[in-house]
Amino acid sequence: MKKSVLVLLFSIFLMYSCANTSSEEKPQKTDTKPVNNIGLVIHGGAGTILKKNMTPAMEAEYEAMLEKAAKKGYEILQNGGSSLDAVEQTIHILENSPLFNAGKGAVFANNGKNELDASIMEGKNLNAGAIAGVTNLKHPISAARKVMENSDHVLLARKGAEEFAAAQGLEVVDTSYFFTEKRYKSLERAKKNDADKKAAYLDPYIKDYKYGTVGCVALDKNGNLAAGTSTGGMTNKKWNRIGDSPIIGAGTYANNKTCAVSGTGHGEYFIRANVAYDISALMEYKNMSLQEAAKEVIQNKLKNMGGDGGIIAIDAKGNLVAEFNTPGMYRAMVDEKGNVTVGIYSE
């Protein structure tokens, strides 16, 4: 009988722990405290990036620029700077580089202009800012930050966003600043071929016209997460199309409770699937790890809808993730020790 009582007690314990598990809330970190696990991840776009279409020189060029950007951000974090500053400054480097579809190097819209989108979000207070369709701002990511910090709004568009950013003292450039020959040729090819995809395939840099974007996520020494994304959108885009990059919850999301995410891919699917916020929701509501949540959203949910692309993310513990369902994604990670890992293909 003694054994039976023990087993009974054990079964009662099981019942209790079972009930406890199902109603248990994940402890949520809302205040911030110093951490040692700083980290940063960047991306330079996902798409049909195949080794056979790259030269060793091109690979080296991309890798060097990704490493440079990632190291810049890490340096800021290492010196005690905020994740917000790290995200903004890292993206400046990517916006300055003609290699990526953001800032200088942005693709051309059908109207022959470069229409730029960007957004930024802060995990500690869920503050966010974004701009869509600006044509004369050197650093769209900084315009997004100004919207967040110095306006009552989250999203400003086109002329209004340009006027706001100019009034904030941000650098305004002539639209010709964004001209790059390779992108202009892509537009010409896209216009020549009705089938955009074929034209994009001919682009020697990014083999898919939809997927160039840059982004950065970071965790700073105060335990604050931040995420930012900047893009020129799609080659030959019409009708002032806005993609996921300036949409909070789709292309960008940050919450100290969970993670910071920046996406790149076929933006329409990212909007419909609420990609960035969904990763956070799976962590918060289903207790998934960052890795599990990112995989579920990118490899299952998004893929089942037919959406191509990827995300980079970092969680409040400094775990780093780059998840994509395309043949490649330009990316780099820096962990808390300063180790940089650069990648292009899915391997």
Give me the residues that bind a copy of itself (CB under 8 A), please.
1, 3-4, 7-8, 10-11, 14-15, 17-18, 21-22, 121, 126-128, 132-133, 151-161, 163-164, 238-243, 247-250, 253, 267-268, 271-274, 277-278, 281-282, 285-286, 305
Closest contact distance (angstroms) between CB of 137 and a copy of itself is 13
With residue 316 as reference, give the H or E element that holds it.
none
Among residues 48, 90, 213, 231, the one annotated as catalytic is 213
For a copy of itself, the closer of residues 1 and 57 by Cβ is: 1
Neighbours of 57 (CB within 10 A): 8
Dist CA 164 CA 186 (whole Å): 31
For a copy of itself, the closer of residues 284 and 335 by Cβ is: 284
For a copy of itself, the closer of residues 175 and 240 by Cβ is: 240
Rg (CA), the chain: 21
Dist CA 144 CA 142 (whole Å): 5
Strand arrangement, sheet containing 320-324: 252-254, 259-265, 309-315, 320-324
For a copy of itself, the closer of residues 271 and 340 by Cβ is: 271
Closest contact distance (angstroms) between CB of 131 and a copy of itself is 9
Closest contact distance (angstroms) between CB of 26 and a copy of itself is 11
Q: How far is CA 140 from CA 104, 108, 242, in A?
A: 11, 16, 14
Closest contact distance (angstroms) between CB of 108 and a copy of itself is 15
Confirm whether 213 is a catalytic residue: yes
- Three-point CA angle 185, 186, 187, nearest 5°: 90
DSSP state of 172: B
Tell which residue, 146, 204, 137, 215, has the closest CA to residue 171: 137
Catalytic residues: 213
